[in-house]
Structure 1
Amino acid sequence: MTHAVRSHGFTALGPLHEAFARLTGWPAVITSLLLGAFSSVAFAPFHFSAVLVISFTCLIWMLDGARGHRKWGKAVFLRTWAFGAGFFLISMHWTAAPFLVEPEKHAIFLWMPLILLPGGMALIWGAFGAMAGAFWSSSPSRIFIFGLFFALAEYVRGHLFGGFPWNLPGTTWIPGGALSQTASIGGVYWLTLVTVFIMSAPAALVDTRESRQLAVRIAPVFAAVILLALGWTWGAQRIAQPSAQSDQFVVLMDSGVPQNEKWEIGPDPILIEYLRMLSTQEGEAGDIILWPEGALPTTLLQDANALDAVGAYLGPRELIAGTTRYEITGKNMRDYYNSLTVIDENAIRSGPVALYDKHRLVPFGELPATRIIPFGEALSGILPGAIQRMASDGFRPGPGPAVIYADDIPPFVAMICYEGL
């Protein structure tokens, strides 16, 4: 079923606007679902950012039509919810992988990552879409309204129940590129707000008003172009600034042991492999060795033999390593932390040079389910293997972001895995 929509603005875009705005019922929901799924290629590993222009523009045109419905609140909610469900289903398909490690035990729960997760997270987009609908108009102001409420929805998604800020629109830009640098001004949610506005600005070129003031319709696109130009210019200049690390030699090391085999193999063979790599590197004072998160399947800082061996091979260099550590809190009680440590050749005698504990933990993976939602203990019991253990026990979060200071290493803010989101 369709309803009448008259589009005004750029003649070439008028028929497209009418086609999307007239959609109702299941065709509207399915189209929104497909547009959301299409949006996922705007993010890693593809970074085809321009597809967001198409998906956001078409969604806004569908919301133009939804506002003409008698039950416009429901229509707006369903469109934005379906858009989110399609996006989260494709962009987070990898969350189903742990359930396929032992499919005979856990495949029955595939509905959780493939239906519950995308459908549940899309509820946030649907709710904020409905709020945006309450302020909707036919004028270009709807672009600002859409951008504001979309960014608010992403902020909530990034914090609710521990937060899951995967593929925020602000991360569509190639990491380290000029446009990504603007996140340093106000953070990723600021960049998300700007990105959504830029990508949805073309939707203002057509609307349902009979006014022929094309200059007003062009204004958001003009503003988007200015923002892109300023952002790229500022970011390029920022990248061009000399780096404090430009004269230092940094060695990235990994044992090459798959994560799912690391705990079965044990710490000794993996440590021996790291020491072998250290022994083949001739280093000078100021050189930096970098090991990944959870490099060794042991608590490095509490393993005297490992610390002694690592210190002997380090020599004048410093090591930045990811490790699990614990603090004894009572009889047979320990609090575990996912940590980053800086150590030198004297670590066995003087301890770490610097230490940072991860403070933004992965929900249901590092942050226990019992601390996130009601009935979390029952939910953690049906999760696969290692995820089940972590969801029930988990790590303790650190106190918060911290600047790491160490001799011969420029000051830096540590971000461990998920915190980079």
Structure 2
Amino acid sequence: MSFRPLLIALATGLLSATGFAPLEWWPVALLCFAILLWLVHAAPTLKSALLRGWVFGVGHFTVGNNWIQHAFDYQDKMPPALGYAAVALLALYLAIYPAVAMGLAWRLARRPQPDMAFILTASAAWIVTEYLRGVLFTGYPWNPLGVLWLPTPITGIAAWIGTYALSGVAVFAAGLLTLAARRTYRPILIGAPLLLALGLLTSPLSAPTPAPAQPLVRVVQPNIGQEAVGDVDYPEQVLVKLLELSGRPGATPRLIVWPEGLVNYYVEDGYPDPRFYARGDPRWVRARIAALLGPQDVALISGTALFFDAKGELAGAGNSVWPLDISATLGPRYDKAHLVPYGEYLPMRTLLAPLGLARLVMGDVDFISGPGPRGLPLKGFGNAGIQVCYEIVFSGQVVDRANRPAFLFNPSNDAWFGRWGPPQHLAQARLRAIEEGLPVLRSTPTGISAVIDAQGRVLASIPLGQAGAIELPLPEPLPPTLFARLGNWLAFLVAGALLALAFAFRRLAS
């Protein structure tokens, strides 16, 4: 067996991850995928095609997920070096999905020379396997291939077909380059102008003018990272900074949004155990926040909800968001539904805890998941859809379709994510805005916080590692997009259409 194709697959896989933020070298990524398709088509057996796809995936996911190692820098119970092993092990698993996609393309559509049928089949297979990556074993859809298109007009197609099908478009574009390498130019002369035309037709030509009566939104970023968590005065230090950056009320109603989990005081009433009042009475904490609000203002705050059993013992916690008004009264609570395994809970705790493994988020009590997407009604601001941290990366799973919100609020703590994670997280939030036709408000402790309009454009942002606040009119939602109506059924419809076209091309060529 020749190792040269495997070395090329690994090298191009490593390089392909530069197409994602923060580098966004998307032409390089497309070229790398074109080489992958060429390597897979040239594979002599199905086993070698699968192996080439898997090795490419190992390189691709190792570089793309390098930020995960940074989370281990803040966990005393496990050494930071374990983070590098975690990145590698995750890549070994995630690489299965591109391997299966390439294996299906080889098995179903391989002929002596790469042709349109092979490219279309590979595109369809990628759509299906990327969707499966997003749902199997709790799902991990980080950095879908479709996010490559964000610097281009083609990203607007996501409102019609969704992210996973948009990833298939990326594979199709890479396939056109593969055909060009064997001097088959007709598909490029047809396909490239078609993709560009679709992109221009679905992308906004100009930013909408906010309605004069729109309320204001103020996004706060205190720039206090995880390294300060051990400080004795950390809860007070953070709250003072949040209050300072939240400004004072004016004549226009304001919606103030704070990052994930930075209210380190407990804010609910009725704790059965007196020790949970040691940090301060919840009424005192809420009154301090309410003091910065005007009669028409609302603050969305994020912290920890505590769950007790019938005996009054602490049974778990929730990663939660509450609205708070001038009366210092909490509104209905949202509990994060899509929890991070090994981050917010330790799977198989009875087996893994004795081995010395722990959650990456500090604390010994596991978080308990909420019921899923639902809106919080905010008087004067509409229905707020809440997606905490990486919940926003799950295409088709961020909106309660029976109760469509006016906007999505995505509080996050990206201080865990190094320098590559935050811009990648922001990019995926932009895709959710395009898919659903809804503005997205992102507030993080250290960046990148942003106001994103319903067409995925960043209206304003606070850079990584800076403290500040954004105050803008709350962007208006668009009418429900096709994706907002049909969801990820569109991914399967597009994949089926591509397979039908592949069959038609093969019939015409025979």
Place the TM-score, normalised by the shorter chain, in its bin. Answer: 0.7 to 0.9
Query: Corresponding residue for 1:327?
Result: 307
1:159 aligns with 2:132: no
Q: Select the residue among 324, 330, 343 that pairs with 1:343.
A: 324
Q: 1:286 to 1:112 in 2, by over 3 A?
A: same
Contact 2:75 2:361 in 1 (8 A): no
| Map of 2:245 onto structure 1 | 277
Distance 2:350 2:174 in 1: 41
| Partner Cα separation in structure 2 for residue 246 and residue 386 of structure 1 | 46
The CA distance in 1 between the partners of 2:201 and 2:176, in whole Å, is 20
Letter in 1 for 2:180: L
Q: Structure 1 residues 329, 197: CA separation in 2 closer, same or farther (over 3 Å shift)?
A: farther
Q: How do residues 355-374 of structure 1 correspond to structure 2 at under 5 angstroms?
A: 355-370=333-348
Which of 27, 30, 52 aligns to 2:29? It is 52
Map of 2:202 onto structure 1: 234
Is residue 294 of structure 2 the alignment partner of residue 315 of structure 1?
A: yes
CA–CA separation in structure 1 for the residues paired with 2:12 and 2:373 = 36
Provide closer, same or farther for how the CA distance between residues 234 and 107 of structure 1 changes in structure 2, counting only shifts above 3 A: closer
SS in 2 for 1:253: strand
- CA shift for structure 1 position 103: 9.0
Task: Give 2:175's aligned residue.
Answer: 200
- Please report how far the alpha carbon of residue 54 of structure 1 lies from its aligned counterpart in structure 2 after TM superposition: 0.4
Between the aligned partners of 2:131 and 2:103, the Cα distance in structure 1 is 16
Q: Deviation digits for residues 327-365 of structure 1, max 9, x if unmatched? A: 3343203332212222211233xx31x432222222221
Over aligned residue pairs, what C-alpha RMSD do you find? 2.9
Distance verdict in 2 for CA 1:382–1:246, change over 3 Å = farther
Question: Is the Cα contact below 8 Å between 1:263 and 1:297 reproduced in 2?
Answer: no
One-letter code aligned to 1:309: R
Whole-angstrom CA distance in 2 between matches of 1:178 and 1:130: 31
Distance in 2 between residues matched to 1:301 and 1:190, nearest whole Å: 43
The residue aligned with 1:15 is none
Please state how far the C-alpha of 1:30 moved relative to its aligned partner.
1.0
Q: What TM-score do the two structures reach when normalised by structure 1?
A: 0.79
- Any idea what the Cα deviations from partners look like across 1:219-273, whole Å, max 9, x if unmatched? 3662343123212331215x64455698433222233321232354342332233
Equivalence for 1:149: 125
Does 2:386 correspond to 1:414? yes
The amino acid of 1:154's aligned partner reads E
Find the partner of 1:294 among 261, 272, 275: 261
> Secondary structure of the equivalent of 2:305?
strand
Opposite residue 41 of structure 1, the aligned amino acid is: T
Q: Is the 8 A contact 1:93 1:113 kept in 2?
A: no
**Residue correspondences, number:** 375
What SS does the corresponding residue of 1:347 show, helix, strand or coil? Answer: coil
State the partner residue of 2:160.
185
Partner of 1:166: helix, strand, or coil? coil
- Equivalent residue of 2:23, what SS? coil
Residue type of the alignment partner of 2:386 = A
> Residues 141, 393 of structure 1: CA spacing in aligned structure 2 closer, same or farther, 3 A cutoff?
farther
Separation in 2, partners of 1:388, 1:127? 33
Moved more, 402-411 or 88-97: 402-411
Contact 1:155-1:189 at 8 Å conserved across structures: yes
- Indicate conservation of the 8 Å contact 2:30/2:170, yes or no: no
CA distance in 1, matches of 2:161, 2:298: 32
Equivalent pair of 2:344/2:361 in contact (CA under 8 Å): no
Deviations 1:158-207 (A, max 9, x none): 122221111111112338x7543432334322322223223332223355
* Whole-angstrom CA distance in 1 between matches of 2:77 and 2:290: 45
Q: Equivalents in 1 of 2:328, 2:212: separation in Å?
A: 23
User: In 2, are the aligned partners of 1:369 and 1:380 still within 8 Å (CA)?
Assistant: no
- Secondary structure, in 3 states, of the residue corresponding to 2:141? coil
Structure 1 gap segments, 5+ residues each:
1-23, 371-375
Question: Greater helix share, 1 or 2?
Answer: 1
In 2, Cα distance between equivalents of 1:412 and 1:246: 18
Partner of 2:508: none
Give 2:102's match in structure 1, choosing from 129, 140, 153.
129
What's the TM-score, normalizing by structure 2? Answer: 0.66
Q: Secondary structure at the match of 2:10?
A: helix
- CA distance 1:288–1:335, shift in 2 (3 Å): same
Larger radius of gyration: 1
Q: Are 1:257 and 2:238 matched, yes or no?
A: no
Provide the residue aligned with 1:306 in structure 2: 285
**One-letter identity of the residue aligned with 1:362:** V
Q: Secondary structure of the residue that 2:321 maps to in structure 1?
A: strand
Q: Which of 46, 55, 79 is the aligned partner of 1:106?
A: 79
Contact 2:55-2:95 within 8 A present in 1 as well: yes
Which secondary structure state, in structure 2, belongs to the residue aligned with residue 387 of structure 1? coil
CA offset at residue 386 of structure 1?
Answer: 5.0
User: Aligned equivalents of 2:146 and 2:289: distance in 1?
Assistant: 40
Deviation at 1:324, TM superposition (A): 1.9
Tell me, what secondary structure is at the counterpart of 2:174?
Answer: helix
Which structure exhibits the higher relative contact order, with contacts defined as CA atoms closer than 8 Å and separated by 6 or more residues? Answer: 2
For 1:180 and 1:383, locate their aligned partners in 2 and report how far apart those are by CA, in whole Å. Answer: 44
**In structure 2, distance between residues paired with 1:180 and 1:154:** 17
Partners of 1:294 and 1:124 in 2: how far apart? Answer: 33
State the identity %. 25
Instruction: Give SS of 2:315's match.
Output: strand
Distance 1:404 1:37 in 2: 42
Per the alignment, do residues 104 and 389 of structure 1 end up closer, same or farther by CA in structure 2, a change over 3 Å counting?
closer
Structure 2: which 5+ residue stretches go unaligned?
A: 270-281, 394-510
For the Cα contact (< 8 Å) 1:365–1:394, is it kept in 2? no
Q: CA deviation at 1:147?
A: 1.0
Structure 2 match to 1:170: 146
